[in-house]
Structure 1
Amino acid sequence: MKYLLTIFFFSGVTVLTAQTNGSFFLFNKDWSSMQDFDKATYFMQQVKENDTTFTCRYYQKNGPMVKWETYLDSNMTIPNGLFAWYNKRGDLDSIGYTNRGRKNLTWQYGFKSDGSAITAEEYLNGRLVKRINYKTKIISYPSGKEEKLEDAKENKTDVFRKAEFIDGGIDGWVKYVSENLKTPERYMSIAGPNSDGYVGVSFEINTMGKVNKIFLYHSAEWSADNEAIRLLNNSPIWNPAEKNGLPAEYNFRQKLTFRVGL
């Protein structure tokens, strides 16, 4: 799998850089670098999350995300973290994780409307451990061995409490979203009047009650996606989930809708 593209930094594209952070890169339709925004087919925003995490999101110039990559360095030479690819409609197609340039943990392919994958692979620092076909419910191993995938069974002895928005529960969260999610002007100009779209987000509430691990399973367009990420990053604290009386991580998945009037 080829992760790195030759890129060329550019500046001064105010339509993208206004009120947002990160570095921007432009590409032709063949993914060669260029400098003219009007003639570009794709662009990429690189965001420094911390000193060892650089998130790169590639977009159709006036459409959804194409791919999401994470690197250890700003020069994008060491894949390290989440990688994802999207179809032309902005739906998640495949996702996986890397550890210093090698495939690691779970890689999932071919997502259905309910968010479940059709197939998956498990890796350990670049070594394939097993393949899972959820349609046939068969697990296959590099040795050639196969076995039946057993349905996961819930532990009935566990006592679990879901994470809850600290200011009013689910109603408070809906209020926070409705009052703070803004439809960007760029999205309005691209989507056109009397239209709507959505950004599909997943995120974790960690054991401290903070929003963490923000990811998009459906991309609408660059400015709408960034607005969804901003909203989640600015979320007030939550009451964390509990498992058997101890704080636990909890994952949410929802749609954030953007509407354009006449």
Structure 2
Amino acid sequence: MTDGRYDLNDLLTLMAVLRDPQQGCPWDVHQKWDSIVPHTLEEAHEVADAIERRAFDELPGELGDLLFQVVYYAQFGAEEGRFDFHDVVHTLTTKMIERHPHVFPAGRLDSRREGVPAAEVDSARVGQRWEALKADEREARSTRAATTSLLDDIPRALPALSRAHKLSKRAARAGFDWPDHRGALDKIYEELGELEAEIGADDSERMQAELGDLLFAVVNLARHLGVDPEQALRGTGARFESRFRFVEQCAREAGDDIGVCDLATLEGYWQAAKRRE
């Protein structure tokens, strides 16, 4: 503790004590690699939610919860003699220095670019360099695994929309893409028609497959438009929630039970909610 504030070393000590078989917390002691993963995903979403709500007063706590997940995995690694938190920091720092030669020209943290402000650096070349380095890393991993694919390092645990976005983006880098958004839009119409056909056939498995194809086509359009589909859908969910709460409020003020209101009445409330925005 420095100046009455806990530091990173205190956090690492806290984790070690929590995991101590004799003095620790029973819940923490019983956790394993896989059991923590759902908490990690949840904490990442809570960080995103706080940022989107501009709840910056909540953000230190949410970021701390996310950092705690990293510390957890590092503790597992240390207990099994695989790696520790300092290895995580070293690996990350080394990788970021290597990926930013335009910032650290000598390949060391203490080296700096001189004479060219960040705004004047060619961002396109920076992006190309970044992707080339990541491709080299994928190649190295693929060599060890005896497989090679542009899609190798896209995590399967990502939310489905985010993973679809990454899959299509990675394939597009290999030229597997439409020249503009029009092709992506036409694909949506095509997939919608195929879904309608399967709905008519009442084939549940085919309906699910075609609905998935339609969603993937929408993700492709989002990519062409420069829109993050995960953020777009979260925004729509937030707007729906706000509007529906207003509909409920209108029904209560009218002395109605929302469960028995007719659709025309509910639609009127809904349109009022949209005008209110």
Structure with greater strand share of residues: 1
Larger CA Rg, structure 1 vs 2: 2
Tell me the TM-score normalized by structure 2. 0.21
Between the two structures, name the one with larger relative contact order (CA 8 Å, sep ≥ 6). 1
